[in-house]
Chain A
Amino acid sequence: MAKIHVTTTINGEPEEFLCDPAETMLDVLRNRLGLTGAKEGCATGDCGACSITLDGTLVCSCLMLAAEAEGHEIGTIEGMADGDHLHPLQQKFLEMAALQCGICTPGFLIAAKALLEENPDPTETEVRFWLAGNLCRCTGYDKIIRAVMDTAAEMREAAQ
C-alpha cells in the first residue's frame, strides 16, 4: 500500500511521518510517533480519551485521518506541560485527585485546556456541557469539574 508523506506541526515542533491513507491520527500518534498520551477508548468519537487539538480546535483524533494533519498544527497532552513545569490544570488534577485509573485524564486535560482558552470564566454548567464528550468511569466527574473550576479561578487571579 502506498504510504502518504505528511508534514505537520506537533506541539509546536515540525514533524514528518508516513502513514496509510485510512490510518487515523490517533494510530499515527500512538504507533508511529510514540506519543501514547492520547488513548483509544471507543474509536467512535464518543469517549474523548483521544482528544487533541487541530489548529487549536478540540477534536477526537480517532475521527481524523492522519493524512489530514498535512500543513496543520496538532496539540497533544505531551505538549501541555512546559518541561518539568506542569500546566495549572495538570497540577490541580493531581492536588484534587481528579483522576483514578487515568485513562481518560489526557483527554479531559486537553479538553479542559481548550475550554479555558476560549472561556476563562465558565459556569459549572458550561464546564459540564463542554466536557460531555469526555467519559470517565471512575470519578463520577465531580472532582474533575471542581478541579477545572478551581484552576479557572486561579488562572484568572494569576492573570490580573
Chain B
Amino acid sequence: MTDTQYLAPATLDEAVSAFASANGAARILAGGTDLLVQMQAGVVKPGLIVDVKKIGELTSVEETADGGFIVGAAVSGAKLEKHPNFGRVWPGALEGLNLIGSTQVQGRASFGGNLCNGSPAADSVPGLVAAGAVATIQGPNGRREMPVEDIPAGPGKTNLAPGEIVVSFTFPPRPAHSGDAYLRMIPRTEMDIAVVGCGVNLTMDGNTCTAARVALGAVAPTVRRVPDAEAALIGSTLDDAAIEAAAAACCAACSPINDKRGTIAYRTQVAGVLLKRTTAIAAERAKA
C-alpha cells in the first residue's frame, strides 16, 4: 500500500512538474467535491494530490481589455457568483456552474473540476461549450489552448495529455445583443444530477439570430455541441419552424443511456423540449 502525498505548490510550473512526474498516480485537487468523494469510496487512491488553489492564475477572475473574461479553473461557484460583471455578461455559463450541488458544494466546486471529472452530465460544461470558452492548458510540453468541447473524451475521461493541467477558461468578447442560458431537467427542484442539460448562446440583430451555439449534457458519453441546431437557428427570427428544426436536431444528436434517471426515449424527447425553453431564455436576454 502506497501512502498519499499532498502538495500545494505556489506556481504552475511546480504543479505541472509534480503532476507529470507522478506518472498518472497523481490527482489534481481543485474544490475536491468529486475527488474526495471518490477517495472516501475507495474508487481512487492517489499517490499524490496536487492542490492547485495556491496558484493565482487558477483562482482569479480577470476581465480582459476587449470585454472578455479569463476565469481560473479552480474558481468556486460561490466566488464567481459574487463577481460584479461575470454573471451579467454570461448568466447562462454562471447558472450552469451554480447548479452544481448545494450551497456548501458551491463554496468549492469549479469549472475546471467539473470539466475534468468527465461526467457526461456535468452541469457547467454545456454552458462553457455554448459560450465558446477556450481552455488554457499547461503541461510538461508547455502551454496550449483547446476549445472546451474538445476536452471530454467519455465518462471520467478527458483528452488532456499526461501531466496537463487546465489553468483557466477564456470567454470571448461579447457582441451587443447576446445572451446565454442553461437549463437542466431533474425530477427534483435542486441538488440532483441532470437527466438532460442544455446550454444555448445567441447573438441577435433585431429579430434575426446572427450567431448561435448549442450544447447538450447527459445525452451522450460526453457533453455534445449540436452544429445542426445552431445552423437551424442562425439566420432565422427564432420562428416556430426554426425552433422546431433546432429541437429536432437536438433529439437527433442524442445517444443516451438508459438508467434510473431516464430512459433513452425520455432523454431524447426532453433534449428537444429543453432546446426550446433554453433558447427562449437566451433570446430574451439577448434582446434586453
Interface residues of A (CB under 8 A from B): 1-2, 4, 20-22, 24, 43-46, 48, 51, 54, 57-60, 62-65, 67-68, 70, 111, 114-115, 129-134
Residues of A within 8 A of B239 (CB): none
The closest CB in chain B to the CB of A72 belongs to B53
Residues of A within 8 A of B108 (CB): 59-60, 63-64
Residues of B within 8 A of A1 (CB): 3
Count of chain B residues with a beta carbon within 8 Å of a chain A beta carbon: 29
- In the assembled complex, the Cα of A147 lies from the Cα of B217 at a distance in Å of 39
The closest CB in chain A to the CB of B5 belongs to A21
Residues of A within 8 A of B79 (CB): 57
Residues of B within 8 A of A45 (CB): 33, 36-37, 101-102, 104-105
Verify B102–A21 contact, CB threshold 8 A. Answer: no
Residue from A44, A68, A114, A129 within 8 A of B40 (CB atoms): A44
Verify A22–B107 contact, CB threshold 8 A. Answer: no
* Residues 1-30 of B at the A interface (beta carbon under 8 Å): 3-6, 8, 29
Closest approach, in angstroms, between the C-beta of A69 and any C-beta of chain B? 11
Check if B49 is an interface residue, CB within 8 A of chain A: yes
Verify B78–A57 contact, CB threshold 8 A. Answer: yes
Dominant secondary structure of chain A at its interface with chain B = mixed
Check if B32 is an interface residue, CB within 8 A of chain A: yes
Verify A54–B33 contact, CB threshold 8 A. Answer: no
Residue from B29, B39, B107 within 8 A of A59 (CB atoms): B107
Q: A63-B31, A63-B104, A67-B8 are in contact. List 5 more A-B contacts (CB 8 A).
A: A45-B102, A60-B104, A62-B40, A65-B49, A111-B104
Check if B51 is an interface residue, CB within 8 A of chain A: yes
Verify A65–B107 contact, CB threshold 8 A. Answer: no
- In the assembled complex, the Cα of A4 lies from the Cα of B4 at a distance in Å of 11
- In the assembled complex, the Cα of A130 lies from the Cα of B105 at a distance in Å of 11
Residues of B within 8 A of A4 (CB): 6
Residue from B32, B51, B102, B107 within 8 A of A57 (CB atoms): B107
- In the assembled complex, the Cα of A47 lies from the Cα of B23 at a distance in Å of 35
Verify B6–A67 contact, CB threshold 8 A. Answer: yes
Residues of A within 8 A of B190 (CB): 129, 132
Closest approach, in angstroms, between the C-beta of A157 and any C-beta of chain B? 25
User: Which of A24, A59, A62, A64 has most B Cβ within 10 Å?
Assistant: A59
Residue from A46, A58, A68, A129 within 8 A of B51 (CB atoms): A68
- Can you name 26 A-B residue pairings with CB atoms under 8 Å? A2-B5, A4-B6, A21-B5, A22-B4, A22-B49, A24-B36, A44-B40, A45-B104, A46-B102, A57-B79, A58-B103, A58-B107, A63-B36, A63-B105, A63-B108, A64-B108, A65-B29, A65-B32, A65-B49, A67-B51, A68-B51, A111-B104, A115-B103, A130-B103, A132-B102, A132-B190
Check if B191 is an interface residue, CB within 8 A of chain A: yes
The closest CB in chain A to the CB of B3 belongs to A1
Residues of B within 8 A of A46 (CB): 102, 191
Residues of A within 8 A of B102 (CB): 45-46, 48, 132-134
Check if B114 is an interface residue, CB within 8 A of chain A: no
Residues of A within 8 A of B32 (CB): 63-65, 68
Closest approach, in angstroms, between the C-beta of B125 and any C-beta of chain A? 19
Residues of B within 8 A of A44 (CB): 37, 40-41
Residue from B4, B36, B191 within 8 A of A62 (CB atoms): B36
